[in-house]
Amino acid sequence: MNTAVIDEQPVTPAPGEARVPRSAHLKAFLVRNSMVVIVLLSALYFYSENARFGTTANLQTILIAAAPFALIAFGQTLVILTGGIDLSVGSTIALSAMSASWMIMDNGSSAATAVAVALVVGLAVGSVNGLLVAMLNVPPFVATLATLTAASGLAYAVGDGAPITGLPSSYGDLANTKWLGFQLPVWFAIAGFVVLTIIIRRTTYGTRIYAVGGNRVAAQIAGINVRSVLFSVYAISGLLAGLSGVLLSSRVQSGAPTLGSGYELDAIAAVVIGGASLMGGRGTMWGTAVGLLLIQMLNNGLDILLVPSYWQDVIVGALIAMAVAIDVFVTRKLP
């Protein structure tokens, strides 16, 4: 006699097939989305401590601060998905910003030309990284550390060791113009999120990125041009860093050789906190966006509560450790 009754009780599992309790599924869901839960709880805490945290003006402040970070974090996500890392994005931001500023102030170029040059500079740095990693098999850490140092030196050289100030308002309009209540950098970040999400989830190229990060040898056997994929993700990362440099320098209407210093660490932190594996093959743009939002929200909320900046670094460091621990737990323990 059949032990299952349709619509009255679950079907008896097949021999050797263990039934997974609903509590286990709920536990897995909560752990995998723990950062979303932390974001919501943190927001509630900051709002309860100071109602100014929940105002529209403060939300705009968080989003504006997050926008340039978002672009480099999304590029960093592509790199980390392949099992690599890009330490050069902070220096690329500075070099791109200084190049754009120099084109306007010393070369008399238009704002549009300056932006184009900055993007080309970012793409060039990313392409050098891609060549070193993909073609010469230089470890990503070493390759991007070298370009970090070189790009930083070039950023100082462009301005003879000094910032370039006094950029025209036409250049500042790029970051300070509002559309539908938000400044343009926020819309650039949203566009980057949407486009890259579609690419990695809906295209063959996205599948190849995951395949290279999951098992490079197997991907090559399957006919994937691993070198091409590796080169492309570093080039995209550099291009997005160049755009971020434009937005940051446009916002303050000046270029500084220190602009973007340390941003690479924040970008990596956002990716890791968002659930990506540093071993490659696992991660999403959505997770990176959540990780980035959490970092910026914590910085903003702790500033409002007058918590010293060094304690903010401690908290972000603890979150990175927590995120890695959760990643290991999800990989080994959950169904």
Residue 30 has a pLDDT of 61
Helices and strands: H and E segment counts in the chain: 14, 2
For 191, residues 6+ apart whose C-beta sits below 8 A from its C-beta are none
Residue 333 has a pLDDT of 57
What's the mean per-residue pLDDT of the chain? 85
Point out the residues of the chain with pLDDT beneath 70.
1-35, 323, 326-335
Most distant CA pair in the chain, distance: 88
Residues 27-53 as b/e (b if ≥16 CB within 10 A, e otherwise) read: eeeeeeebbeebbeebbeebeeeeeeb
Closest CA to 119 of 28, 31, 245: 245
pTM more than 0.75:
yes
Q: Six-digit token pair at 191?
A: 């566009």
Residue 241 has a pLDDT of 96
Whether 100 and 123 have beta carbons less than 8 Å apart is answered as no
Q: Six-digit token pair at 324?
A: 């890695």
Alpha carbons 188 and 242: distance in angstroms, whole number = 13
Alpha carbons 304 and 154: distance in angstroms, whole number = 37
Alpha carbons 119 and 233: distance in angstroms, whole number = 15
Packing angle of the helix pair 285-304, 34-49 (nearest 10 deg): 20
Handedness of CA 170, 94, 192, 137 (dihedral sign): positive
Alpha carbons 146 and 131: distance in angstroms, whole number = 13
C-alpha distances out from residue 72 to 11, 65, 215, 299, Å: 49, 13, 25, 18
Alpha carbons 79 and 194: distance in angstroms, whole number = 18
Whether 83 and 253 have beta carbons less than 8 Å apart is answered as no
266 burial via Cβ count (<10 Å: 0-12, 13-18, 19+): buried
Whether 97 and 260 have beta carbons less than 8 Å apart is answered as yes
Whether 143 and 150 have beta carbons less than 8 Å apart is answered as no
Residue 163 has a pLDDT of 92
C-alpha distances out from residue 57 to 43, 67, 173, 175, 219, Å: 15, 15, 20, 17, 47
